[in-house]
Structure 1
Amino acid sequence: MKQQYGQILVTPKPFVKWAGGKRQLIPILNENLPKTFGTYFEPFLGGGALLFHMLTERNGQKCSISDLNSDLVLSYITIRDRIDDLISSLKSHEKNYQKDSKSYYYSVRESNPRNEIEKTSRLIFLNRTCFNGLYRVNSKGKFNVPIGKYTNPNIVNEDNLRSVSSILQSSKASIKCRDFEAVLRDAKKDDLVYFDPPYQPVSNTANFTSYTNKDFTFDDLNRLAELCTKLDSKGCRVLLSNSNSKEVAEIFSNEPWKISKIQANRSINSNSKKRTGHFELLIKNY
């Protein structure tokens, strides 16, 4: 389902860059989806690449999506419900940024808006103008990424935002802010649950788990593995992405899990030479 604005056909795609985003892996993920399934659950929503693909390809697919990052969840809801207000707020960010990008960027980074439109437009603005499009907060929950080196960043991607708004409105996807374990209460036999958690570090320097001010720890990974087993025993179909790490491979080494290694470029690495040649794991029980 492509949305038409004027003569432009726009397929909805992620409106934020997110570490571990799945846009480039969509063809492989698509091949690995079950032929049929009930409700689609995605408890680590992030940029939502697979969600947008799913809603575009499978008209009427029932979806339940969630994330623990409350600002991100608010963004999805604001784009769905208040797109015109959001776009005019982003346009005013764009105008001010063009006057004096550096001082304006840091003043927005320091700001702490209370209203939903301003919160969402701040998140999108910072994501579009910060270094590497990296969303990261410190232990106090403050966004702490420096300004990026862009000559003309696309701050108001109006066609895509309207397309995302339109598909979220028409899909009746339920959007919640909650911990990933909550999915166990809702998922039923033959539903599909896709987990794309913050990845386990594969090296000492690769500690990249701070999308919220709570790190995703090894204990969380074990909690996730237990949850996958419980979902399997309910008859759910489970698909999981993670880093090609020894710990992950060991935890999912037994039946019913099937592990395949897939090639993936990491779009977020300060050294562009290190963005290629990576493998990650795709794990499923069907």
Structure 2
Amino acid sequence: MLSEIHMQNLPRPFLKWAGGKGRLIQQYIPYFPSYFKNYYEPFLGGGSVFFYLQERQAPKAFLTDINAELITTYRCVRDHVEELIYLLKEHETQHSKDYYYSIRTTIESTELKKAARLIYLNKTCFNGLYRENSKGEFNVPMGRYKKPNICDLSNLRLASVALQSAEIERRGFEKVLSSASNSEDFVYFDPPYYPVSTTSNFTSYSRYAFNENEQYRLRDVFVELAQRGVQVMLSNSDTSFIRNLYKDFHIHTILAGRAINSNAKKRGKINELLVTSYSIKDYC
């Protein structure tokens, strides 16, 4: 077991992200392939799985997402972390309600400023939720944090080191078909979840909605990769729709926490699904 001191020296996600897998990693460990050379994560988000695997297995990583500002931020953490830290310290010094809403409407001119803006808003907005309106504008209200950790110096530097060998690009999930080709490749899909009810239909982390048709497209990509022998894993909601989509594969149940709900009483434990193209007994 890793010591507490060692754990403090491991990189963690530098962004809070709806549906982030940080608290689920321990349940995921038994389902990760025992061997692979290349790791692909087409729905990058907070990158919890990447940071866990990078420290322990150090695969060549290919990290992608459709969110342009998210990809810009990862690249800046990888390539310009000290300049980014300088800008974040400025945000930290000036943080207030008026400042938050001023920055929320600001259109930054450089990639570094865009990255610092995203991290600042992410650390100070409601629940770390990333949401855009139809115009691509970030529209989440400010959270109620007394002392938000806007500039986490140590972790940003650790994350920068972990990202040094990663290729980071803005791409749709289906583009993974042009790269992953055999059993030495491991692809993890963490898409916007299929809603478990009409009131939980949050699938738009960007202006691009992830609807039912997208879920079908993703399933088809999963099937194509599996047929190539690629090791594929996918997380999604525990619904009859998702179970039916992936009925030909190995479906595992994960106990997760539901943190985002305006009604605190409706937050709590809920089942999620983890789908693998491979049988776990083959990897023990």
| TM-score of the two chains, using structure 2 as the length reference | 0.93
For each residue in 1:47-90, what CA deviation from the matched residue of structure 2 results, as whole angstroms up to 9, or x when unmatched?
Answer: 0000000111113x111110000100111100011011100100
CA drift at 1:9:
4.5
Matches within 5 A, 1:146-165: 146-165=141-160
Aligned residue in 1 for 2:121: 126
Matched, 1:103 2:98: yes
User: Is 1:167 the counterpart of 2:165 in the alignment?
Assistant: no
Q: State the AA in 2 paired with 1:182.
A: K
Deviations 1:220-271 (A, max 9, x none): 00000111111111111110000111211111112xx011111000233333
Q: Which runs of 5+ in 2 are unaligned?
A: 279-284
Distance 1:49 1:272 in 2: 25
- Paired residue secondary structure (1:209): coil
The corresponding residue for 1:88 is 86
Match of 1:73 in 2: 71
Equivalent AA in structure 1 for residue 94 of structure 2: N
**Deviation at residue 219 of structure 1 after TM alignment:** 0.4
1:179-222 CA distance string (max 9 Å, x none): 00000010021111100000011100101111110100100000
1:214 aligns with 2:213: no
1:258 paired residue number: 250
* Among 265, 272, 276, the residue aligned to 1:280: 272
* 8 A contact 1:242–1:280 mirrored in 2: yes
Deviates most, 47-56 or 259-268? 259-268
Deviating more after overlay: 28-37 vs 101-110: 28-37
TM-score, normalised to structure 1, is 0.92
Equivalent residues of 1:129, 1:153 under 8 A apart: yes
Separation of aligned partners in 1, 2:275 and 2:221: 14
Shift of 1:36: 1.0
RMSD (Å) for aligned C-alpha atoms: 1.5
Equivalence for 2:175: 182
Cα shift at 1:20: 0.6
Which residue identity is paired with 2:256?
A
SS in 1 for 2:163: helix
* Alignment check: 8 A CA contact 1:132 1:270 kept: no
Task: Give the 3-state SS of the residue equivalent to 2:141 in structure 1.
Answer: coil
Q: Which residue of 2 aligns with 1:19?
A: 18
Structure 1's unaligned 5+ residue stretches are none
Deviating 4+ runs (over 2 angstroms) = 7-10, 266-275
Q: Cα–Cα, structure 1 residues 8 and 281, in superposed 2: closer, same or farther, change >3 Å?
A: closer
